Chains A and B, each alone.
Chain A
Amino acid sequence: MPEQLAFTIEVFLNGLMAGVLYALVALGFVLIYKASGIFNYAQGVMALFAALTLAGIIDGQVPFSHLINAILGTDIHHFGWHVPAFLAILLTMVVMIGLAYAVQRLVFRHLVGQEPIILFMATIGLAYFLEGVGDLMWGSDIKSMDVGLPQGLNTWIDDTTFNAFGYGFFIDNLDIVASIIAALLVIGLVMFAQYTKQGRAMRAVADDHQAALSVGVSLNFIWILVWSLAGFVALVAGIMWGTKSGVQFSLSLIALKALPVLMLGGFTSIPGAIVGGLIIGVGEKLFEFLIGAPFLGGATENWFAYMLALIFLVFRPQGLFGEKIIERV
């Protein structure tokens, strides 16, 4: 059945593309977790918040306009200008850095030394808080996002595969661009961590807080830096997903997709996040295509990643690339 095979290959490729985006979100988690031991559930909401902010700025929306209108009885919505995409991205980044500062200053500075699970629950609280703030600031209607990324069917791949297999693969230009940007981002982050002074300090903090402190690394600065980086990753992820399916609440759910990626890849490993993302992206698409849709009634993407991670973890609790846990008394 060559046609079935061609379908499968197409599904595989699409899964790969989705996997790249999962990996991107997972990367945001890994960055924060490595440097501060915080498992940031709010990463997905940060992506939503970044996308909302970007869309709002481009559109010239007045922040908190609904709230202001409700309190003061005014009727303002827009400044009446449109900000160019590039400038808007820069402005959004400034907002995300401000957010990183606020989060570190107001929340996690007071939770230093708490158990990881408490920190985790705090980030769930943060996720709710941010979601509410994002909605209050920019309104909860679905916004479209256009920063000039190419979209639509890639005709070159369509033509080439049609000639080769007699069946044209449908692959979205946006997915290709997203994959390239994600790959560049990953390379950039690894370079940053390996070769810059701040990157080295970041790794030092990840290894041992006390030791890093004793050689003069400012923990506060590093943590703000890390949260800013995570904000940046969230912004990129937000742009990709926002362009693909509009800026709406469901965007924050990509965090839920990234969680099994992390379980699979190990919470501390950047290569793990990438490989895990690809495995889950490909795995869930193929499973849905080959087993889910024909035999199980479809929509298995909702849980496949979790089940895979769960079963995998039972046999290898530290994940693919995590370090082996030796228990001591």
Chain B
Amino acid sequence: MTDGYVTADGRQIGPVVMEMKNITLRFGGVEAIKDISFDIRQGEIRAIIGPNGAGKSSMLNVISGFYVPQEGEVWYKGAPRPSMKPYEVAQQGIARTFQNIALFEGMSVLDNVMTGRLTNMKTGMFWQSIWKGKAEREETANREVAEKIIDFLEIQAIRKTPVSRLSYGLKKRVELARALAAEPSILLLDEPMAGMNVEEKEDMSRFILDVNDEFGTTIALIEHDMGVVMDLSDRVVVMDYGKKIGDGTPSEVRNNQDVIDAYLGVAHD
């Protein structure tokens, strides 16, 4: 295994941080994911694409620990990850956004972003109930990080607005802010641009590239918009009916006969 490569635009990609090894996931009799292996490297933007029902979201759910695969292992930072709860996965530095926005509707934008910092806030209940001192210092320190993310994503103006009042595009952005606030080592994005218009997509693409560029965050994303995927990602995994049918750089994948078949439609036997 070579340690990294250099992308077309000249960024240095590091070693493998996460690797799926022969993952199989079943719901009852249905195999949502069949024996899939791929890796994610430090600092790269990795896309997972495929037609509807290909098992992409299930794959992301396996990575974030929400589904437990019947077979296979997830390797993280060079060791197999023991079976763990989703919140333990999050504490290991894996943050994500959701296909259908999963913000906390009863809270303000700032509070939502601050929930992203929860894994870093360790002050006990006793000190929190007193507030002055330890708890307040921790709150302020984490608030500074959250505010930096808010500045970065240009949502300062809506900081104190309840999330339920925001437009769809802004909610998507707030969700990204919440994930970023955790300062994750891997960021999982489940269709970050679904349902957006062209301008919003451009904004979101810019943010994703900036995040990768500025914080060096490794990103794995699912997206349907092929143009976006080809422009953004360094390497692409293609899934169809739970199987991996292609893996490589955008141009490699584009010329892969199986992938073309899957998208243009060839009779499945």
Contacts and interface: CB of A to CB of B under 8 A. Distances in A.
Given A329-B61, A329-B98, A329-B99, 5 more contacts: A326-B27, A329-B57, A329-B66, A329-B100, A329-B102
Contacts of A326: 27
Interface in B8-52: 27
Nearest to B60: A329
B242 to A, nearest CB: 17
A326 B66 CA distance: 12
The 8 closest A-B pairs by CB, nearest first: A329-B98, A329-B66, A329-B61, A329-B102, A329-B99, A326-B27, A329-B57, A329-B100
A327 to B, nearest CB: 8
A329 B61 CA distance: 8
Nearest to B27: A326
Nearest to A324: B28
A165 B205 CA distance: 84
B55 to A, nearest CB: 14
B53 to A, nearest CB: 14
Contacts of A329: 57, 61, 66, 98-100, 102
A326 B57 CA distance: 15
A329 B65 CA distance: 12
Interface in A116-159: none
Which label, helix, strand, loop or mixed, suits the secondary structure of the A interface? Answer: loop
A326 B58 CA distance: 13
Contacts of B61: 329
A326 B98 CA distance: 17
Nearest to B102: A329
A326 B100 CA distance: 17
8 contacts: A326-B27, A329-B57, A329-B61, A329-B66, A329-B98, A329-B99, A329-B100, A329-B102
A5 B138 CA distance: 68
A15 to B, nearest CB: 38
Interface in A282-329: 326, 329
B60 to A, nearest CB: 9
Nearest to A326: B27
Contacts of B99: 329
Contacts of B27: 326
A326 B30 CA distance: 14
Interface in A196-238: none
A301 to B, nearest CB: 39
Interface string B97-125: 01110100000000000000000000000
A136 B108 CA distance: 45
Interface in A21-42: none
Nearest to B100: A329
A326 to B, nearest CB: 8
B86 to A, nearest CB: 9
A191 B185 CA distance: 60
A329 B103 CA distance: 12
A83 B217 CA distance: 81
A329 B102 CA distance: 8
A329 B57 CA distance: 9
A329 B99 CA distance: 8
Nearest to B96: A329
B167 to A, nearest CB: 20
Contacts of B66: 329
A321 B169 CA distance: 41
Interface in A161-180: none
A235 B100 CA distance: 45
B27 to A, nearest CB: 8
B255 to A, nearest CB: 34
Contacts of B102: 329
B41 to A, nearest CB: 26
A326 B27 CA distance: 10
